[in-house]
Amino acid sequence: MNGLTSSLNGKLALRQPPREISSRKARLALAAEMPASEAALRILLNDPLAAVNVLKRANEAFYGLRGSVGSLSHAIEIVGAESCLRQLAESTRNRSDRPAQQALTRHASVAAQIAHRLANGHWLSAEGPGLTPGMVATTGLLHNIGRLAFCVSLPMESDSLYGFSDSPFPITGSISELEQLQFGINHVELGGFILHHLHLPSEMQTAVRSHRCTDSSPSTHYPTRLAWMVGASCLLAEAAGYGLSPQVSFDHTELESWSLFFDGHASLNPGEMMTVREEMTSTGTLILDDDAFFASSHSAGSEDRARNMDRPAAPRERKAAPTNTHYPISG
């Protein structure tokens, strides 16, 4: 972790306000009195930086569950769904993501859904109102938290590295090696450090650190099995077009070998990689249809009420103290 003390010393800024669209949807959900748990889950599955802050709160010593809450749905239950929505809705400022952050956020959301499919045999969107992303989906959502931390802490350098600068020269090579050269640490090491610092479960820390490793057998060891499912979901998301800029050409030649290894271990079923890949192709999109959910759930006047939440409350009129007040004198 020496690299963290050099390139990123004093610059790591993970605590960020929610995305503008996250705040807007939270206000709409509160105004329309939508089911709070599902609304919060749908918003946070598309905002990993806001999600990691909810998980941080759920793992604080106050709740007595430090290091044990690894599911986003469990974290929302502990903190309170309405409390999560209000924190998102009442944020005094919002985050406008740069292009690299937008690409990484889409990738994280899709990877979470693929990880859920690999672990459970069905898609999150197929669960309907019973949307329950567990630890596998949540780890899929946070597997790129190191890259997102790079983007919010060192935006100019990240834009350059991830192919969103005006440079005419395409960037090629191993992403981990390039991050190591640019920042002194790669995104998987930083991601593991962040989850450790936030007291998230050790299984998630291990999976985030090792989801790019292919030198260990998943067998029945859960942290390693979790890492393999998250790693596979990451590669499948990139193969489906939910990666970084087309200008970037990183080495991901291991997809087919991962597929063979993945399919050879019953502990990783249900959901073989190629079957999932075919389902992804037929689905067309892997982003949860939040717009349809929020549009179908709100009443006619809810948008007006949501807009009113943006306006600062009128200052209360302060009453003047009476001039003839007599105070008892104690002897």
Mean pLDDT of the chain: 76
* Domains of the chain with bracketed CATH: 13-291 (1.10.3210.10)
Residue 126: left if φ>0, alpha if ψ -120 to 50, beta else—which one? alpha
Considering the chain, what percentage of its residues have pLDDT values greater than 90? 31
**Is the whole-model pTM more than 0.85?**
no
What percent of the chain stands above pLDDT 70?
A: 67
**Mean pLDDT confidence for 69-82:** 95
**pLDDT the model gives residue 249:** 43
For 247, the token pair is: 């200008």
> What element of type H or E holds 328?
none
Euclidean distance between CA atoms 280 and 288, whole angstroms: 13
Are 91 and 241 a contacting pair, CB within 8 Å? no
pLDDT at 92: 74
pLDDT for 69 equals 94
pLDDT class for 150, splitting at 50, 70, 90?
A: very high
Confidence band for 264, pLDDT divided at 50, 70 and 90: low
Of 130-134, 181-185, 232-236, the one with minimum mean pLDDT is: 130-134
pLDDT at 331: 34
Is the previous residue joined to 99 through a cis bond, with omega within 30 degrees of 0? no
> pLDDT digits over 105-134, tens only?
999 999 999 999 888 888 887 666 667 889
Whether 230 shows a pLDDT value over 80: the answer reads yes
SS3 260: helix
Distances (CA, A) of 74 to 15, 42, 224, 232, 321: 21, 14, 22, 24, 49
SS3 319: coil
Task: Return the pLDDT at 199.
Answer: 93
Confidence of residue 294 (pLDDT cuts 50, 70, 90): confident
Q: Which of 10-14, 263-267, 317-321 is least confident?
A: 317-321
Helix, strand, coil shares of the chain, percent, nearest 5, are 60, 0, 40
